[in-house]
Structure 1
Amino acid sequence: MKNIPSIIITSLDQARLERLFSSKNYNQLAGMDALINEIDRASVVEPTEVPPDVITMNSTIRFVDDTNGSEYQLTLVYPDEAGAPETISIAAPVGSALLGLSVGQSIMWQVPGGRELSLRVLEVVRQPEAMGEYCR
């Protein structure tokens, strides 16, 4: 993947995602290797120290796919919460790509079938940590 921006995740998100990786239900999902690589390269901060413009788990974000101009507003969730309207699972390629990005950052991300998306973060509409929510 080209255009790899720096990313930030919280220690709480890191711990929860590492538990997810070790789960039988999720360790065989397509794209999990890419997500693990993202977690490994991230700068890890305490939840109280994450900037409010960074995408964390359970954040609602607005972003655009610059390859086709489509704009989305979705909440990044764990796989067991996915499927609700306006959510994207962290296990989905787009979810993996968005985690840890900041407003204004872009990333090229390959999806199944070999197609590449160019995702750009427009706004973090709601970030739990910015609202003092650390246990969700």
Structure 2
Amino acid sequence: MSQQPAIILSSLDYDRIDALLAKEKELSPVHEQLLLEMERATLLEPEQIPADVVTMHSRVRFKLKSSGKEFEKTLCYPHELAAYPDAISVFAPVGAALIGLAVGQYIDWPMPGGQSDQVEIVELVDQPERKGEYHR
């Protein structure tokens, strides 16, 4: 894997994800990779999050380098999947890759089946913090 990009997490997202992971009896490879990303992240208060950074409940357009295919999804917690018609869990392989990246950044990320791919942020369609929603 190449050098990974800097990532930014809100302290609220960090605390909520960390609490969910602490409840897991056994961590999957995706959970472990997400924890590694969280450990190296720059933490900011929700009010300080830049407008181009993917946070929880952000609607993000991204593409996978291997196929060039673009997707638009709302990043959510696993228990919220039914709340969004286009949901992707932060515990899914691609969902875990999205959190903390800014528009234009990409990350090499392990995918199911032992392959890896580059996930690139194309556009941040919606972000709660941009709208002043700091505790969502």
TM-score, length of structure 2 as denominator length: 0.93
Moved over 6 A (4+): none
Q: Any gaps of 5 or more consecutive residues in structure 2? A: none
One-letter code of the match for 2:45? E
Residue identity in the other structure for 2:11: S
Higher helix share: 2
Give the letter aligned to residue 61 of structure 1: V
Shift of 1:30: 4.1
- Give the C-alpha shift of residue 3 in structure 1: 3.6
Give 2:102's aligned residue.
102
Could you report, residue by residue, the CA deviation over 1:23-75 in whole angstroms, capped at 9, with x for unpaired residues? 136x5344100011111110000100000000000000011111111000000
Q: How many residues align?
A: 135
Summarize the alignment of residues 1-136 of structure 1 with structure 2, pairs less than 5 Å apart: 1-24=1-24, 27-83=26-82, 84-136=84-136
Cα pair 1:29 1:91 within 8 Å, conserved:
no
TM-score (norm 1): 0.93
Q: CA deviation at 1:118?
A: 1.1
Aligned partners of 1:4 and 1:33: how far apart in 2? 16
Give the aligned residue type for 2:118: S
Aligned counterparts of 1:7 and 1:113: Cα–Cα separation in 2: 25
Separation in 2 of the partners of 1:78 and 1:47? 17
- Please give the root-mean-square deviation of Cα atoms over the aligned residues, in Å: 1.4
One-letter amino acid of the counterpart of residue 100, structure 1: G
Q: What is the rounded CA distance, in whole Å, between the counterparts of 1:24 and 1:38 in structure 2?
A: 18
In the aligned structure 2, how far is the partner of 1:101 from the partner of 1:130? Answer: 15
Amino acid paired to 1:106 = Y
% identity of equivalent residues: 43
